[in-house]
Chain A
Amino acid sequence: MSLAGQMIAFTPAQLDEVRRLQALYPDPRAALLPVLQLAQEAFDFISPDVEQYVAGLFDLSPAHVHEVVTFYSLFFTKPVGRHVVSVCRTLSCHLLGAPDVVAYLKERLGIEAGATTKDGKVTFFTVECLCACEMAPMMQVNDRYEGHLTREKIDRILERLE
């Protein structure tokens, strides 16, 4: 975890991982996506400083890394909370109560979609289909899918978050 103002640099172990990823492809640039994922894990979000650092690892212009980061919606370009909750609002989930899920999350967390709680614990987004219609209404909490959501289930999920 990096703190504001801290130098942006991978640990030796992370750098080894970068080299391993780069060696997998004939053109090392192909490893840019997994390295950016690594960077997001290491630095929480991809700031221009992180883009500059990663560009240096690939001998690319920072603008080129910025192109890739802004192309994909799963890279955070601004700080997010310790936990990220993404609520699906596409058709199946919508019909089975996604608007209620969103309204209840707003109420519980006291924030609008896209914002982070004051204690820096949770950021919640509304997103398009996450390919899990069978468990609608659903949301993604960090790396886990949570489905068949009810108010009680949402309470239990939020209580589990550190």
Chain B
Amino acid sequence: MPRLTIDGKEIEVPAGANLIEAARRLGIEIPHYCYHPGLSIAGQCRLCMVELEKNPRPQIACNMVAMDGMVVHTQTPKVLETRKSIMEFHLINHPLDCPVCDQAGECWLQIYYMKHGLYDSRFVEEKVHKPKAVPLGPHVILDAERCILCSRCTRFCDEITKTGELGIFNRGDHSEVGLFPGKVLDNRYSGNVVDICPVGALTDRDFRFQVRVWYLDTQKSVCPGCSRGCNIEIHSNVRRPHHAQGRRVARLKPRYNPHVNDWWICDAGRYGFGSIDQGRITFPQLREGGLLREVTWREALALLIDRLRAYGPDEIGLLASPEMTNEELFLIRRLAETLGVKNLDFQVPPREPGDEDDFLLRADKNPNTRGAEAIGLWPADRGLDAWEMLEALRREQLKCLWVFHHDVTRCGWPEGAVLEALQAAQCLIYTGSNVNGMTERAHLVLPAATYAEKEGTFTNFEGRVQRIRKALPPLGDSRADWEILGECLEALNAGPKPNRPEEVFRALAHAVPAFAGLTYRDLGEYGLMLREVAHGASR
């Protein structure tokens, strides 16, 4: 491991680390545009110049591997002057219209001009003009005048997706990023080029001009779009609700996790947040005379308990969902045990098989299938699985079915048979977030918070347990599943309701060997793996 000195501080870094990464470990920021740790070195922007002792001229830090005994200076007058000149060079043809640019507030030209530029403009000539507001594909729009030609986007398409749509065409100050004639930037990961664009050249068609970024709040979470569990940040706008027609979630951004998704997320996950703000069930409802009537939670819970008590354990079925958190699934298991219900399952086949690739996308479009398996949401001995429960409903052996989140009217099972079974139910309870075929049929509808509105953990397909956090309050009167289940268990005299999911997680770690030893604190930023346990041994 090479040992070197940067700005008078000594540090040992892994072999092969470049000077930007070495300095980062010391908390020293070397400004840069083209360097990205997930991409090849381009050496294009020249901003990361540092001085090396015994070297006549400043060198670019991105392409300089840390060597034993190196002495690096990042703050000498020569370095500072070089940075200033390079900033001036980058901004020569850049439009000076930050107030109308959507990147303002998260633009590295703005940030570095304030930190390293602060020169007075000497440019009196006409700036070079280039194409503006050019749609590159379904998600990304290009403003070639704002581009500094760092080539991050072209390298992303060459090296990560290997689709090669983008290039830098022409020469000199006429160079511009563009698509090969006739091509469209329409790969499954195209949104990432917007994240890595350091300036306002590539913006997100879904997000641009919706809300200024400084009004956004951010929260760490995990994408529920598939079983990969990519780490994300939820960017929400609650400070200026009038700016985006009440859309609270403004955008999702990938969050670095070297064990799961590195710096990237797929487009399906990135743009799949519409259901958080649209088509929501916002209050408990009771079906009377065929019509749903709004009721209070107090009424709804009283009715729920009454129903659960009215039927025998063999007449009740519980259909949990792999969209629910580990904590919530554990509470369902506890509910089944409390009631003595053996008819318990969590899996319903999807209507269409999910698409998968060899990068991030997984065919299983549920965030917590592995968690449900580990916690053991299977039928207890001689209990019914999901399909058998529907068949038993149709035969009127099963009287009461409580479904969480699944829209069984739109799944891989024949619709006619499903509808017939649901029709035959004496009591159909549905807990979900969005209006669907189930809300049209359920006798009692309990509105559930989405993943963006609650705390908890998901277990990805590899067995990595990761935290989701509350970015927003639950919409309307909706409540997190763990709260609904906690109330229910308390009413059934199965112990006091939990105050927060962490308490449930503690009990889960105690009760389920796969989770033994895990705590919220230890899960940290990147999550932790389940203890290796035999399939289903936790039950």
Q: What residues of chain A lie closer than 8 Å to B154, measured between beta carbons?
A: 63
Q: What 10 new A-B contacts, CB under 8 Å, besides A48-B181, A66-B181?
A: A61-B180, A62-B164, A62-B183, A63-B164, A63-B165, A63-B183, A66-B169, A70-B170, A72-B171, A73-B171
CA distance A70 to B433 in the complex (A): 53
Q: Nearest Cβ distance between residue B279 and chain A, in whole angstroms?
A: 40
- Contact call A71/B171, Cβ cutoff below 8 A: yes
CA distance A64 to B162 in the complex (A): 12
A67 interfacial by beta-carbon distance below 8 Å: yes
Closest A residue to B180 by beta carbon equals A63
User: Could you tell me the dominant secondary structure of chain A's interface residues?
Assistant: helix
Q: What residues of chain A lie closer than 8 Å to B265, measured between beta carbons?
A: none
Within 8 A of B (CB), among A52-94: 61-64, 66-67, 70-73
B313 interfacial by beta-carbon distance below 8 Å: no
Q: What residues of chain A lie closer than 8 Å to B167, measured between beta carbons?
A: 61, 63-64, 66-67
Q: What residues of chain B lie closer than 8 Å to A62, measured between beta carbons?
A: 164, 180, 183
- Contact call B171/A70, Cβ cutoff below 8 A: yes
CA distance A115 to B158 in the complex (A): 36
Closest A residue to B166 by beta carbon equals A63
- Contact call A66/B180, Cβ cutoff below 8 A: yes
Q: What residues of chain A lie closer than 8 Å to B435, measured between beta carbons?
A: none
Q: What residues of chain A lie closer than 8 Å to B168, measured between beta carbons?
A: 67
B353 interfacial by beta-carbon distance below 8 Å: no
Number of interface residues of A (CB under 8 A): 12
Contact with A along B180-203 (1 / 0, CB 8 A): 111100000000000000000000
Q: Can you list 24 A-B pairs with a CB-CB distance of less than 8 A?
A: A51-B180, A61-B158, A61-B164, A61-B165, A61-B167, A61-B180, A62-B164, A62-B180, A62-B183, A63-B164, A63-B165, A63-B167, A64-B158, A64-B167, A66-B167, A66-B169, A66-B181, A67-B169, A70-B169, A70-B171, A71-B170, A71-B171, A72-B171, A73-B171
CA distance A61 to B183 in the complex (A): 12
CA distance A95 to B158 in the complex (A): 48
CA distance A61 to B180 in the complex (A): 9
CA distance A73 to B164 in the complex (A): 23
CA distance A62 to B171 in the complex (A): 17
Contact with A along B348-369 (1 / 0, CB 8 A): 0000000000000000000000
- Contact call B169/A64, Cβ cutoff below 8 A: no
Number of interface residues of B (CB under 8 A): 15
Q: What residues of chain B lie closer than 8 Å to A51, measured between beta carbons?
A: 180
Among all A-B residue pairs, the 10 with the closest Cβ atoms: A61-B164, A63-B167, A63-B180, A70-B169, A48-B181, A67-B167, A62-B180, A70-B170, A71-B171, A63-B164
Q: What residues of chain B lie closer than 8 Å to A67, measured between beta carbons?
A: 167-169
Closest B residue to A71 by beta carbon equals B171
B182 contact from A48, A71, A73, Cβ within 8 A: A48
Closest B residue to A48 by beta carbon equals B181
B17 interfacial by beta-carbon distance below 8 Å: no
CA distance A95 to B166 in the complex (A): 43
- Contact call B180/A48, Cβ cutoff below 8 A: yes
CA distance A51 to B165 in the complex (A): 13
Contact with A along B153-176 (1 / 0, CB 8 A): 010001000001111111100000
CA distance A61 to B181 in the complex (A): 12
Closest B residue to A73 by beta carbon equals B171
Q: Nearest Cβ distance between residue B168 and chain A, in whole angstroms?
A: 6
Q: Nearest Cβ distance between residue A110 and chain B, in whole angstroms?
A: 30
CA distance A159 to B66 in the complex (A): 66
Q: What residues of chain A lie closer than 8 Å to B182, measured between beta carbons?
A: 48
Q: Nearest Cβ distance between residue B446 and chain A, in whole angstroms?
A: 52
Closest B residue to A61 by beta carbon equals B164
A64 contact from B164, B171, B181, B183, Cβ within 8 A: B164
Q: What residues of chain B lie closer than 8 Å to A70, measured between beta carbons?
A: 169-171
B421 interfacial by beta-carbon distance below 8 Å: no
CA distance A72 to B169 in the complex (A): 10
Q: What residues of chain A lie closer than 8 Å to B183, measured between beta carbons?
A: 62-63
Q: Nearest Cβ distance between residue B183 and chain A, in whole angstroms?
A: 7
Closest A residue to B164 by beta carbon equals A61
B179 interfacial by beta-carbon distance below 8 Å: yes
Q: What residues of chain B lie closer than 8 Å to A72, measured between beta carbons?
A: 171
CA distance A22 to B255 in the complex (A): 43
- Contact call B179/A63, Cβ cutoff below 8 A: yes
Q: What residues of chain A lie closer than 8 Å to B158, measured between beta carbons?
A: 61, 64
Q: Nearest Cβ distance between residue B478 and chain A, in whole angstroms?
A: 47
Interface centre among A63, A67, A73 (most CB of B within 10 A): A63
Closest B residue to A72 by beta carbon equals B171
CA distance A63 to B158 in the complex (A): 10
Q: Nearest Cβ distance between residue A127 and chain B, in whole angstroms?
A: 15
Q: What residues of chain B lie closer than 8 Å to A73, measured between beta carbons?
A: 171
Q: What residues of chain B lie closer than 8 Å to A64, measured between beta carbons?
A: 158, 164, 167
Within 8 A of B (CB), among A27-59: 48, 51
CA distance A118 to B168 in the complex (A): 34
Q: What residues of chain A lie closer than 8 Å to B180, measured between beta carbons?
A: 48, 51, 61-63, 66
Closest A residue to B154 by beta carbon equals A63
Closest B residue to A47 by beta carbon equals B181
CA distance A71 to B175 in the complex (A): 8
Closest A residue to B163 by beta carbon equals A61
Closest B residue to A69 by beta carbon equals B169
CA distance A71 to B169 in the complex (A): 7
CA distance A71 to B179 in the complex (A): 15
Within 8 A of A (CB), among B231-261: none
CA distance A61 to B157 in the complex (A): 10
CA distance A73 to B171 in the complex (A): 9
CA distance A67 to B27 in the complex (A): 38
Q: Nearest Cβ distance between residue A36 and chain B, in whole angstroms?
A: 15
Q: Nearest Cβ distance between residue A113 and chain B, in whole angstroms?
A: 19
Q: What residues of chain B lie closer than 8 Å to A66, measured between beta carbons?
A: 167, 169, 180-181
CA distance A19 to B164 in the complex (A): 24
Q: Nearest Cβ distance between residue A58 and chain B, in whole angstroms?
A: 12
CA distance A70 to B183 in the complex (A): 17
